[in-house]
Amino acid sequence: MDAKKHHLRKKGWSEEEIAHATGILRKAEAKKHPSLKKLDKLVFWLMLFLVLLGIYLMTTFLLPMLIIIPSDGILLLIALLGAALGVLFVSSSFALEHQWHHHVLNIITIPLITIIGFVAVTNKATTLSQEIARPVIHNAYLVGVVFSACFLLPYIIMIVIKHRNRKVMEHAAR
């Protein structure tokens, strides 16, 4: 909150105006209707579900690619797709006001489910490639970890930037 106050001071707000605005925001949060609080939670869980659904659909789409493309190419493709989806996730995720436990949940849940999904799809692709006499073997865990790391990298960068900006603003407010 100090960072926001400092920002308002820089814009020329008086201490009275800042105190008044801060009080209004605190009261509004305290008086927030229970259904709005539930809606906030629902939006978070819906977003997480949609991200996981998108990752599932992408892994399904990648099944034929895993059969055709050699390991080096598939790792590059997975890294690019992971980073692209990660940026999309960050742009939608940070529009919401998350509490710290939401970030922790995202950082744990998404990679875990992603790695499990990629291991299953990569193993299926390896089995299918052997059946069609075009054996391509990928390290299933490496594929999952590369995607998860590239997916989470923009998210972690954004968390670090937000945290650093908050610390800089708080330090400047003193």
Residue-level pLDDT at 109: 81
Measure CA 119 to chain center: 20
DSSP state of 17: H
pTM: 0.69
Rounded to the nearest integer, the mean pLDDT of the chain is 81
Cα separation, 12 vs 32, in Å, equals 29
Is the alpha carbon torsion for 113, 115, 118, 119 positive or negative? negative
Task: Name which of 50-64, 121-135, 160-174 the model is least confident about.
Answer: 160-174
pLDDT at 3 over 60: no
Higher pLDDT, 1 or 29: 29
Give residue-wise pLDDT tens across range 70-87: 888 889 999 999 899 888
Say what percent of the chain tops pLDDT 70: 88
pLDDT at 66 over 90: no
The arithmetic mean of pLDDT across residues 47-52, rounded, is: 83
Cα separation, 91 vs 163, in Å, equals 17
